[in-house]
Amino acid sequence: MLSHPVARLLAFAVVPALIVYVVVLALAVAAGIEPGLVLRDLMQTCKYPIGVGMLSNLGILLWAAAAAISFFACFSGLVVQRGWRQLLLVGGIFSTTLCLDDLFLLHDRHVLGHEGSYYILYAVLAVIILLRFRQLVLQADGVAFLAAALLLGLSVLSDRFQESLPIDYATVQLFEEGFKFVGIACWLAFWWQASLRGAKLCASD
């Protein structure tokens, strides 16, 4: 049945999109939020200049790109070796988690735990990836992975210890967000290289 183009479109795009649309609106109404506020873009609602939050939004797009690339490479059939598929699946899930956290500020709102618990969890997951897939990480782009981990770690440390640093808050934030943005770019670069490397190895076989 799903071999028909219309059936595939309904099953994988139209129906899931409608479900998300209706569920989000229903949850908004249940929470007492005006539906129009959910439908409109945040910039349109708040009437802020276009540049407000731009770097944050671009960072979220980079997280999403890393997730999309990893999932596509994993499930498209371009990568057939099990180890690479596992690495890319983990990368897709991890990148999606980081994207949603950044998009909805889950760690700042202390959803499902204290802010520090998020950072510890992410650090542990990064170490697990490095240990479990050490050879593949090095083959893909070990420098990019370590650079991403270092820069994102510096961003977290800047945030956690900003009150102890001998510089003003605005300057600390410049460094904090700079570390984060470049770190996300390195994260995307790694998963792009991992996807490319896994696909090339399969093609050469």
Number of structural domains the chain divides into: 2
Tokens 């093609």 correspond to 203
The model's pLDDT over 146-173, given as tens digits with 9 standing for 90+, comes to 999 999 999 999 988 888 888 898 899 9
Residues 140-152: pLDDT tens digits?
999 999 999 999 9
Average pLDDT over residues 7-12: 90
87/139 same-domain check: yes
Whether residues 86 and 117 fall in one domain: yes
What are 25-78's pLDDT values in tens digits?
A: 999 999 999 998 999 888 888 888 888 889 999 999 999 999 999 999 999 999
One domain, residues 115 and 152: yes
Q: Do 116 and 140 share a domain, yes or no?
A: yes
Q: How far is CA 182 from CA 12, 59, 120, 143, 175, in A?
A: 34, 9, 21, 14, 11
pTM of the model as a whole: 0.91
Range of the domain at 155: 51-201
Same domain, 104 and 21: no
Asked if residue 107 is part of any domain, the answer here is: yes
